[in-house]
Amino acid sequence: MVNPISRRRALWLAGGMVAVPASGYGLWEATRSTSPKSRSTQPPPETIQASGIAGSSERMSFVHVIAHPDDNLYFMNPDLDQAVATGAACVTVCLTDGESDGRNVLHSEAGHQHVPADRAGYTRARINGLAASYAVMATGDENSPWEVALVSYQDGLAVEQHTLKAAPHVQLIFPALVEARAVSTPRADSLRGLWLGQEQRISTLPPARSGLPAQATYTREQLVDTLVNILDHFRPTVVRTLDPNPDHAVKAPPRPQGLLYLDHQDHTYSAYFAQAALAKHWGDGSGRAATVESYLGYVNAELPANLDLPTVQRKARLIDTYGWADNRDCGDPAGCGDRKVGKGALRNGWAQSTRYRAAGSGQWIQQTGAGRLMAFTLLNGAAAYWFEDAKGWHGPQRIAGDGLEGQLQVIRQADGLLRLFGVRTVLGYTPQDHRREIVTCVQNSDGPGEQPFSPWESLGAPDGDDAVKSMEFGYPVALARPDGGVQVFARTFAGTVAVRVLDGGWNALPLPPGVGQGVLDGIGAVLDANGLTHVFAGGKGVAHWMSDTPGGPLRPAAPTGLPVPGGPITALLGKDGRLRLHFREPKSAKVLTAEHEPTFDTWKVVAETTPPGGFGRVAAGADVLAVRDGKGRVALGTVQGWQHSGPLLAGAPSVTTDRDGLPVVVAVGCDGMLYVARRSAAEEPFGPWSLAP
């Protein structure tokens, strides 16, 4: 096979990549002060075992694409922290300098406007802060030295690449592009302007004492290809981006430039460039099986805090390190961190939460009509599946079609065939060309064949043909009815839920009272014992819609009175015929269980777990809960308590039962492989996790 790195001329060391010391740096970067006064007192991190399978860290590689030096500390941690601790390659590409006004002081400080602007110096200070924070994650010592080199991943262009000497799997890459310098105000010389074609080139701003040329620029194609070549070199199994689909501000007045979004424009367009690069990276088949996770940004400040106290404290310590809160002396006259952050890690409300744009369906494994198990995921922008037979697990096998993102859900129809639901993004360089749609495909037959699934069919978007509104709809959740019908639900642009059947159109439901201006993504849906449809979504409480007849129209149900959920809602029908909900409690990460009392038509929280840590969707079924725990692994909740032995996972776990009625839990690891845990009897603990195939 042709070496993709050589083909794209992004060669590393022995392969010929340009790698030279950054001129003008001086010795301060390579020999940061290690005096007792400035040495971090934080303990070295615990090494995270990626899974129970030996050598799993060698199968993993993480690439993070961010816009500004503090983005992944606020929005991607604790995931970033856990990736660093695996020992696998952990690379962060920070596209812009984040140079702002060039004043390394908090905007609200008296007299800040009189501080001389030095954008190159402020950029260097932010890089120093980020390097110190990564050093703490990897070694426990914020002063652990780095090696800095100029590296070319694209002909005629160089980036500043930092490698942590004590943990060389940790690397930072800085192309040094200029930032937009405003959260939402358009500026042509920015990632947004470059993507939309308002400028043909984006400027660079070399940090202080960098060897990068002062007048370098990137075209749109050069920036995409730079990212492609980075991806080709590191061959990630996990790619992390910021939010490509931010929420708009509902109460914002009309603006000539369009909607006001609850995130930074650089976050959004850095994600677009990452998506374009991934499509090209995967297009030639050279990449390893990879999952993609995208993270909500500024909007977290408006949502319930979903992390427990120890996780928030750890995030805050790392952000404070970045913010130079300890006034350490790193030896650089530009500064050793970002004073705009300073000691205010919790000031803006961003650090208290971590959320994926795709909340995870929790329902991506099913029995087929023949009793086989099939598990589905997204790998390299396409659907893939594993199946189990008498010889064990097989896969992954790809289903034709690309451009898929976020998550998949699978249901078993009344005819026994499995049907998938997902979201496809069509990238475009104008708002009219850039859009998303809900898609579905179905098994052709429950057995082997050359084409086991039909082509993907578009179900459009809940808000019709409006491309801009399509960027904000939620991920679909579907129900298979006993009469053969299929209902599909998704959050709308306006923040309610829309429903359709496969051969019908979308119908937006009125919001129930008492849930605020809208609901969040991560909805749950279930049929009750009488075949009535129930849909749930989180907001200022738990919103509930239901039908009065099987397959009939949905209406707002009586208020549930349930507390505000800290994440997605999982709905299921208990063995006793009662409706049951599982969701996280804000600030504690506990799993709460609520049940419906049909006699009085009331809801009540009937159980809560000990805190497992972590965040995100609760997968549930057959007397077992499966969640992401505080170390990013799968934890299983049973009557015996939590079992924290699962793999470091991507996305959300899923639960089903096998043909014997025993529970099976699956997770896709950060190595892109399927992990399985089973029970041999109904009341026994789960056995050890196994790797499939």
**How open is the CA angle 427-432-434, to the nearest 5 degrees?**
15
Specify the DSSP element, H or E, that contains 415: none
Q: Which one has a higher pLDDT value, 313 or 622?
A: 313
Taking only the tens place, the pLDDT of each residue in 368-390 is 999 999 999 999 999 999 999 99
Mean per-residue pLDDT, 382-407? 95
Taking only the tens place, the pLDDT of each residue in 85-95 is 999 999 999 99
> 3-state class of 409 per DSSP?
strand
Q: Which of 566, 526, 520 has the alpha carbon at shortest distance from 543?
A: 520
670 contacts 62 by C-beta, under 8 angstroms: yes
Q: Which one has a higher pLDDT value, 614 or 59?
A: 614
Specify the DSSP element, H or E, that contains 160: strand 157-164
Taking only the tens place, the pLDDT of each residue in 93-136 is 999 999 999 999 987 777 777 889 999 999 999 999 999 999 99
The model's confidence at residue 26, banded by pLDDT at 50, 70 and 90, is very low
Given a cut of 50, whether residue 49 has pLDDT beyond it is: no
Mean per-residue pLDDT, 407-427? 97
Tokens matching residue 564:
């505000």
Specify the DSSP element, H or E, that contains 364: none
Percent of the chain with pLDDT over 70: 91
Tokens matching residue 211:
């060897």
pTM of the model: 0.93
The model's confidence at residue 681, banded by pLDDT at 50, 70 and 90, is confident
Q: What is the mean pLDDT of the chain?
A: 90
**How open is the CA angle 153-159-163, to the nearest 5 degrees?**
100
> 3-state class of 488 per DSSP?
strand
Mean per-residue pLDDT, 569-579? 95
The top-scoring range by mean pLDDT among 38-52, 94-108, 310-324, 444-458 is 310-324
Q: What contacts 392, CB < 8 A, 6 or more positions away?
A: 692, 693
* Predicted local confidence at residue 114, as pLDDT: 83
What's CA 448's distance to the chain center, in Å?
34
Taking only the tens place, the pLDDT of each residue in 580-602 is 999 999 999 999 999 999 999 99
Given a cut of 90, whether residue 19 has pLDDT beyond it is: no
The model's confidence at residue 226, banded by pLDDT at 50, 70 and 90, is very high
Taking only the tens place, the pLDDT of each residue in 633-654 is 999 999 889 999 999 999 999 9
* Predicted local confidence at residue 111, as pLDDT: 73
Taking only the tens place, the pLDDT of each residue in 542-573 is 999 999 999 999 999 999 999 999 999 999 99
Q: How many helices (H) and strands (E) does the chain have?
A: 9, 38
505: number of Cβ within 10 Å: 11
Given a cut of 80, whether residue 452 has pLDDT beyond it is: yes
- Sheet with 634-638, strands from edge to edge, namely 619-621, 624-628, 634-638, 641-643
Given a cut of 70, whether residue 36 has pLDDT beyond it is: no
Tokens matching residue 143:
């002063």
The model's confidence at residue 33, banded by pLDDT at 50, 70 and 90, is very low
What's CA 337's distance to the chain center, in Å?
26
* Predicted local confidence at residue 685, as pLDDT: 86
The identity of residue 346, as a single letter, is L
Given a cut of 60, whether residue 15 has pLDDT beyond it is: no
Alpha helices in 12-106 (DSSP H): 71-75, 79-86
Mean per-residue pLDDT, 668-690? 91
Given a cut of 60, whether residue 1 has pLDDT beyond it is: no
517 contacts 474 by C-beta, under 8 angstroms: no
* Predicted local confidence at residue 450, as pLDDT: 65
Residue 151's DSSP bridge partners are 19, 159
Taking only the tens place, the pLDDT of each residue in 484-534 is 999 999 999 999 999 999 999 999 999 998 888 899 999 999 999 999 999
Tokens matching residue 618:
């609760």
Which residue in the block uniquely carries the two structure tokens 């034709």?
A: 400
Q: Domains, the chain, ranges and CATH?
A: 4-322 (3.40.50), 359-504 (no CATH)
Given a cut of 80, whether residue 670 has pLDDT beyond it is: yes
Mean per-residue pLDDT, 49-57? 46
> 3-state class of 398 per DSSP?
strand
* Predicted local confidence at residue 21, as pLDDT: 41
* Predicted local confidence at residue 51, as pLDDT: 43
Alpha helices in 145-202 (DSSP H): 191-196
Given a cut of 80, whether residue 395 has pLDDT beyond it is: yes
